Amino acid sequence: MSKGLRAFGYTGLILGCFAFGFAWPDLQHGKLPNTRSVNALFGVKSGAAASPEQQFSHAYSKILTDYIQPVDSTNLKYAGMEGLMAALGDPHTMFLPPVAAEAFNDETRANFGGIGARLGADQLGAKIASVFDGGPAAQAGLKAGNIITAVDGKSVTGKEIDDIVSTIKGKEGTIVRLTVIQSDKPRPVVITIKRARIIAPTVDSKYLSKYQVGYVTVSSFSEPTADQFDKEVAKMETHPLKGLVIDLRDNPGGLLDSACDMLSRFVENKLVVKMKFRDGREESASTIPGFLHQFNYPIAILINEDSASAAEIFSGCMHDYGRAKLVGTHSYGKASVQNVFPLIDRSSAKITIARYYLPITPYFGRKVDQDGVFLTGGLEPDVKAELDPVTVIDPDNPKTDNQLWKAIQLLNPSGAATP
């Protein structure tokens, strides 16, 4: 062997050892080194321009050092991460800074107390949509339509409804002070309420005798929902029925299993959703046999932009299997599954890892622009009806709720036509 060749061999061996050492952190995990590390070794800067990571770091330090006033570096970093995740245009893939991350955990652990009321967004704060019978809010005299403007003395005007709800929720047995506008009082009053464990009723019903239509409201899909639904349907079926309205407006969803249980009343052994992951893996959920119920009347489902997730899966399947007509406005478009990845500084990343596909309806996931403004998505109703924004809904007069009224007209045209 020539000396030159031997020297070449040795050099190669030494370089190989070096490469092994360099790659060791990854080889331990059974991977090859990532290009970022290799590029850093050779001083490569990803072509002529700065790498995206360098651009980010550059902008970050520029804002910190050059902006006209001091900027909090942690908040700036988090704002950057929120922007990074928002660039995907998926409203459910988001960065959760430490505070928000903890709130999310509490929600999923569900060991919190509440006041026993359902809240909706309002210009002035949070409007009470309904009060649960016998709950703390009901006992304190709160009523639907009251507006909460401050919690524990701190104004909540202009805050997101989710944020307001999370400040009202708290440990069971603790006290919360609410500043409330009640229409019968000249000035806002402060009401003190003890938080308690709340089991929210999810199904409610009302027989609209004038039109012979059953009206069942499902406010979310939790474990007892399907059973509660059976009971309310049974109540309705003691009356003559020309049709049934299932109101899923403002229903944010809940458990997929619960939606499957509900659907099992209508169809047997049918696909509910297919979940598709990025690696091509698929999982599916189906209705279960033995719960089929004979609905001898047409069904209409009310949806709006706040009908989401399990509510959309339920309505979408009912539509796809020809069991119901959808009435209202397009739904939210929550057709995906998220996973929360905790990060080292107690913040976390919520990332969409899979998508739901309905039996027939094509993918209906919501798309937004970078300001969060709705672009496309959601289920399209069979009968479009925008809620008249001006009319105040009188629960005793279905005509004041023009979406409900459209559904009644659909189910019992002759009944609706009689004066």
Partner 1 sequence: MSDTKKSVFATFGVVMAIGAVYGGVKVREKADVGSLNKATSELSTSHMVASRSNDVNVPAGDYFYELSLKLKEQYVEPVTDDQKLASGAIRGMVASLGDPDSLYYDKDQFRAFLNARVGQYEGIGAELVLSFDHEKSGAKTAPAGSGGESSPDEALVSVRDIPELKVVSVVPGGPAAKAGIKVGDVVDTVDGHWVVQSGLIRQFRIASRKFLEKKLSRVELETQRAVLRKKFDKAIYPSKAKDKLFLGKSGIVNVTWIRGDTTFTTKIAKAPSRLPGFTISGDTVALPFIEGSADKLKAFIQGKNSITIDLRNNTLGDVQVMKQCLEVLAPKGNYGYFVTKRHDSPTALNVLTGNSHPPKVHLITDRSTRGMAEAFALALDHSGLTDKEKLELGGDRFARQIIQLPDGSGYTLVTSAYQVTAPKANRGQAVVAKKGAVK
C-alpha–C-alpha distance, residues 315 and 303, integer Å = 8
Q: Of the two residues 153 and 362, which places its CB atom closer to partner 1 in the complex? A: 153
Single out the residue of 166, 217, 336, 412 in contact with partner 1 (rule: CB under 8 A).
336
Asked if 284 is part of the footprint of partner 1 (rule: CB under 8 A), the reply reads: no
| 374 touches partner 1 by CB under 8 A | no
Q: What is the C-alpha separation between 79 and 253, in angstroms, rounded?
A: 29
117 Cβ neighbours under 8 A, 6+ residues apart: 128, 129, 130, 131, 132, 135, 137, 138, 142
* Closest distance of CB 104 from partner 1, Å: 15
* CB count in 10 Å sphere of residue 259: 28
In whole angstroms, what is the distance from residue 62 CA to residue 76 CA? Answer: 11
* Under rule CB under 8 A, residue 188 binds partner 1: yes
110 binds partner 1 (CB under 8 A): no
Least CB distance from residue 164 to partner 1, whole Å?
A: 12
User: What span, in angstroms and rounded, lies between the C-alpha atoms of 97 and 74?
Assistant: 10
- Per CB under 8 A, the list member of 7, 8, 10, 173 interacting with partner 1 is 10
Binding footprint of partner 1, residue count (CB under 8 A):
99
**Which residue number, 124 or 255, has a Cβ lying nearer to partner 1?**
124
If the CB atoms of residues 88 and 234 are measured against partner 1, the closer one turns out to be 88
Shortest reach from residue 404's CB to partner 1, in Å: 19
* Interface segment toward partner 1; rule CB under 8 A; list 54-62, 199-207, 297-305, 410-418: 54-62
Say how far apart CA 331 and CA 231 lie, in whole Å.
27
Residues labelled as active-site residues: 309, 320, 334
Closest C-alpha among 379, 411, 396 to residue 306: 379
CB 77 within 8 A of CB 61: no
343 near partner 1 (CB under 8 A) = yes
User: What are the backbone dihedrals phi and psi of residue 94, each rounded to the nearest 5 degrees, phi first?
Assistant: -150, 160
- Which positions from 224 through 283 interact with partner 1, judged by CB under 8 A? 276-278
Q: Find the shortest distance in angstroms from Cβ 166 to partner 1.
A: 13
E strand or H helix at 37: helix 35-42
| From candidates 63, 196, 285, 383, binder to partner 1 by CB under 8 A | 63
Closest approach of partner 1 to the CB of residue 89, in Å: 10
What residues numbered 75-104 form the site for partner 1, per CB under 8 A?
75-77, 79-88, 90, 93, 95
Give the shortest CB-78-to-partner 1 separation in angstroms. 8
User: Residue 139: enclosing H or E segment and its boundaries?
Assistant: helix 136-139
Q: Which is nearer to partner 1, 150 or 267 (CB)?
A: 150
What SS3 class is residue 11? Answer: helix
Q: Restricting to residues 191-230, which ones interact with partner 1 according to CB under 8 A?
A: none
Residue 391: phi, psi to the nearest 5?
-65, 135
